[in-house]
Amino acid sequence: KAGVTQTPRYLIKTRGQQVTLSCSPISGHRSVSWYQQTPGQGLQFLFEYFSETQRNKGNFPGRFSGRQFSNSRSEMNVSTLELGDSALYLCASSNVHLGAEETQYFGPGTRLLVL
Amino acid sequence: KQEVTQIPAALSVPEGENLVLNCSFTDSAIYNLQWFRQDPGKGLTSLLLIQSSQREQTSGRLNASLDKSSGRSTLYIAASQPGDSATYLCAVSFTGNQFYFGTGTSLTVIP
């Protein structure tokens, strides 16, 4: 089974631009979560989508948004980029079995640098 | 705000030693807890998942325990190997897959 894939792997943008990151979950997984990882703040939860609906949302400004498609692929968008948005963005997918969440599988991440 | 603390922040041990990594969290009403490892420049690999109704999980040389009442989890690594060198992260969720991560323990196993 193919793992979680994220594209692109590396990205350089300038302040004020917007960016879209993509995540393809493991086949059959309906839950996709997004995290931001920085040296100062560590790993922080952005949001989770399940069956095309946002199920949970972290404490990030509205510039951060996401969506999930019917095939469970997910995108996240960051508008009006700031220098502080430079980070590794990680996507994770998981399944739900008998009502219980199962192990999360993470992708390799997209490293975003904002200049 | 949920706080997840991991002690120690860094650990260096000789190969073959057994070791324990600690994780504490402020709210005992967790949904589940996961231990991950992260290798430099890479994503996370899940090691063990403990549901709130469970007390421990084992996989090979790894054993993780959960004590919700005291807000603690431990990851036990038996007979450590150089390949175990990585950062180990503890994460707790209170609903669905919204995980709160600790800052990690950086482990170095010396051959």
Dihedral class, residue B96 (left if φ above 0, else alpha if ψ from -120 to 50, else beta) = left
Q: Token pair 């192990």 is at which residue?
A: A103
Q: Give pLDDT, residue A98.
A: 60
Percent of chain A with pLDDT over 70: 95
- The closest alpha carbon to A65, from A16, A7, A21, A4, belongs to A21
Chain A, chain B: beta-carbon pairs less than 8 Å apart:
64
Q: Which among A43, A56, A107 is the nearest to B97, CB-wise?
A: A56
Name the token pair of B63.
């054993």
Q: Give pLDDT, residue B53.
A: 87
Q: Give pLDDT, residue A101.
A: 64
For A2-54, the pLDDT digits (tens) are 899 999 999 999 999 999 999 999 999 999 999 999 988 999 999 999 999 99
Cβ-contact A23, A110 below 8 angstroms: no
Per-residue pLDDT for A96 more than 80?
Answer: no
Q: With a CB-CB cutoff of 8 Å, which residues 51-110 of chain B face chain A? A: 51, 89, 91, 93, 95-104
Q: Give pLDDT, residue A95.
A: 83
For B16-50, the pLDDT digits (tens) are 999 999 999 988 788 889 999 999 878 899 999 99
Q: Which among B43, B93, B98 is the nearest to A109, CB-wise?
A: B43
